[in-house]
Amino acid sequence: MDLRQRLATVAVHRTSALVVEVPGWARTRWAVEREVRRRGWRLAVSPADADLLVTCGRPGPRLADALDLVWAQLPGPRARLDVPTSTAVADALNEAAAQLRDDERQRRDAADRPVEPAMGTPAEDDSTAEDDGDAQEDDDHGDMDMGGDHGDMDMDMEPGGIPLASGGGGDRDGLDLDVLHVPLGPVLPCWPPGLLLHCTLHGDVVAEARFEVLGAAAGSPPPRRTYRTPADRLDRAAQLLTLAGWDDAATQAARLRDDLLDAADPAFCVPVLDRLTRRVRRSRSLRWSLRGLGDGPGGDVWDRLLELLEEARAGLAGQQPAGSPTPVDVVPDLVAGLEFSAVRLVVASLDLDPTAQHHPHAVST
């Protein structure tokens, strides 16, 4: 084994995977994330951080285009997988590891990559050909964030892919500020699947927003609903804790979710969940950072985090939490007036179910 092959083998043990859920394929994403952790790999926070792009489900045309742009942004060596079902995960990740170790394949991939960065459709594109996404009425359907923390991978046709500011926007203090149009989603960790949120910023404050939901391919079978199951509640809590900087607690919640996927005895999971809930409740710093943020359905972000943990506990006890998903169309009003840095926390805390937009008759679990 030559040096290059040895280095490739070592690198595979530190693979970073960017896992993307098509609306309706939550169980497949959970299975992928569980297998990633089992192998000692890690979950990427952006395309630049990833070696592996995993698509869970069958994306529609616009979501597929977004994934192609994300793929163009991954550094080499890299691999890409489409995982249509949760039963195909282990074999798919084995194939990914083989691709990453294949030196000749990676050389060909590097030689075939364009020198210029991939660009998207213009922000002014008013094409009506798209038929797989729900949206508020608006002509602007082209600017799309591909991931990262602050929408720096949009599809606008601007120099280097960076949107330019325009003058004339007045902020809440009466100042004349530049106006910047920044999209969030649809490929973004800890973000509702398929959600594309177009934000208009005055400085660092969201002046207004509108949404689209980019769904699955036409003809995809209705998914099994995971909404309000204990695993769903723990998954949402894990994502919210991740964005709040509580990585250890987030990992604990995600592992509990994985235990439920493995049909663990609820009697084993309940004490672990109770300890996690007590730890969260006792944290003054966490409560301080979330309290008063995103007042809306179910209180603020702090209230909604506690509710997720409480509903997971109730589900483990055999109780079915009542209620329905928060409508996606409340998101623009909730994020308007927020600092841009807070938007992801607020959105992650909402009880959104983009699957319901495309599969109103999805099968309940």
pLDDT band, residue 125 (cuts 50/70/90)? very low
pLDDT in tens, 317-360: 988 877 778 899 999 999 999 999 999 999 999 999 887 655 44
Q: What's the mean pLDDT in 6-26?
A: 86
Amino acid making up residue 208 = E
Stated as kind and residue range, the H or E segment containing 265 is none
pLDDT > 90 fraction of the chain, expressed in percent and rounded: 62
Of 123 and 306, more confident: 306
pLDDT computed for residue 220 by the predictor = 80
pLDDT band, residue 225 (cuts 50/70/90)? confident
Exposure class string for 27-54: b at 16+ Cβ within 10 A, else e: bbbbbbbbbbeebebebbbbbebbbbbb
Exposure class string for 127-146: b at 16+ Cβ within 10 A, else e: eeeeebbeeeeeebbbbbbb
What domains are there in the chain, each with its CATH number?
3-112 (3.40.50.12280), 133-214 (no CATH), 224-364 (no CATH)
pLDDT band, residue 137 (cuts 50/70/90)? very low
Of 257 and 113, more confident: 257
Helices (H), the chain: 3-12, 26-38, 61-73, 89-101, 103-112, 230-243, 247-261, 266-282, 284-290, 301-316, 331-335, 343-349, 355-358
Q: Which two tokens mark 277?
A: 């809930």
**Angle subtended at Cα 240 by Cα 211 and Cα 269, rounded to the nearest 5 degrees:** 130
pLDDT in tens, 173-191: 555 667 899 999 999 999 9
pLDDT in tens, 280-317: 999 999 999 999 999 987 799 999 999 999 999 999 99
- 345 φ/ψ angles, rounded to the nearest 5 degrees: -60, -45
* DSSP state at residue 24: T
Q: What's the mean pLDDT in 108-125?
A: 67
* DSSP state at residue 298: T
**Angle subtended at Cα 129 by Cα 126 and Cα 133, rounded to the nearest 5 degrees:** 90
